[in-house]
Amino acid sequence: MTTERPKAPTVLPGAIPIQFELTFPGSRIELPFLRIGGVRQTENQLARDMLHLVGDKLIEAAVALGYKRAMPDSHDGYVVQASTAFGDMFVAALHTAQRSMRELSGIEGLTGAVQQAVSNLDAVYPALKGVRDSAAHVEEPAQGKARKNPITPQMQTLRLGSGSVTLPGNVRTVHHHGDESFGHGGVDGLIELVSMKESDFRKAVGIVQGLVDAFPWAGHSEVIPRRHFRA
């Protein structure tokens, strides 16, 4: 007698990435020079490549956000772990974008614009670095630690759908999934949350567009993600 194995649930039900456009006003940047990390550079390629990397990470975040929002409401292990993976992918992509933006802060004449853009992104996602760091060391919160130091989980009430859930202080919650947020355990024993709202992601796109527009461009323009060009 054979026992039929249960079928794995469908965890990727036709998700659609969040649609957005980021316009690069030209194909190259024309700065007299760059100064990054105290090293004088004569090529403008570095700035262009860094800004395009930021754009690529926005595409990655849009894909992750689209898939996470399409996940079914289920306690099945496949679904929960897939949702966690997409949440981590979203956070990691935005964190890399923000780090790449910071790398441009040494450019003469554009330091203010770069720092303002980074600060604006911080305002939209204040817990971004903390959640990313906890995700990179997810084994620590499970052990009651953060950055190798002991932490005490604290009672915390979080939004969940139209209601809320209260986490007791004696539970080591590694991550949290809400309808509009995603997070991991932080250094203070509380869950740190990053917004998963489409409206906040669009704010991030607008911040990056403002930074891109602050640079002096030349040549044909380019629009991503669809990679079409304008003369």
Supply the pLDDT for residue 114: 94
Peptide bond into 225 cis (omega under 30): yes
- Percent of the chain scored above 90 by pLDDT? 36
Supply the pLDDT for residue 13: 56
Q: Are 131 and 87 in contact (CB under 8 A)?
A: no
Kindly report, residue by residue over 51-85, the tens digit of the pLDDT: 999 999 999 999 999 988 888 777 777 887 888 88
Supply the pLDDT for residue 93: 96
- Residue spans of the domains in the chain: they are 22-135+197-230
The stretches of the chain forming alpha helices (DSSP H) are 45-69, 77-102, 111-124, 128-136, 139-142, 198-213
Mean pLDDT of the chain: 78
Confidence of residue 145 (pLDDT cuts 50, 70, 90): low
pLDDT at residue 154 tops 70: no
Supply the pLDDT for residue 134: 76
pLDDT at residue 99 tops 90: yes
Q: Are 62 and 55 in contact (CB under 8 A)?
A: no
**pTM of the entire predicted model:** 0.78
Q: 3-class DSSP state for residue 176?
A: strand
Kindly report, residue by residue over 120-130, the tens digit of the pLDDT: 999 999 989 88
For residue 89, give the DSSP letter: H
Higher pLDDT, 132 or 72: 132
Compute the distance between CA of residue 68 and CA of residue 84 in angstroms, rounded to an integer. 8
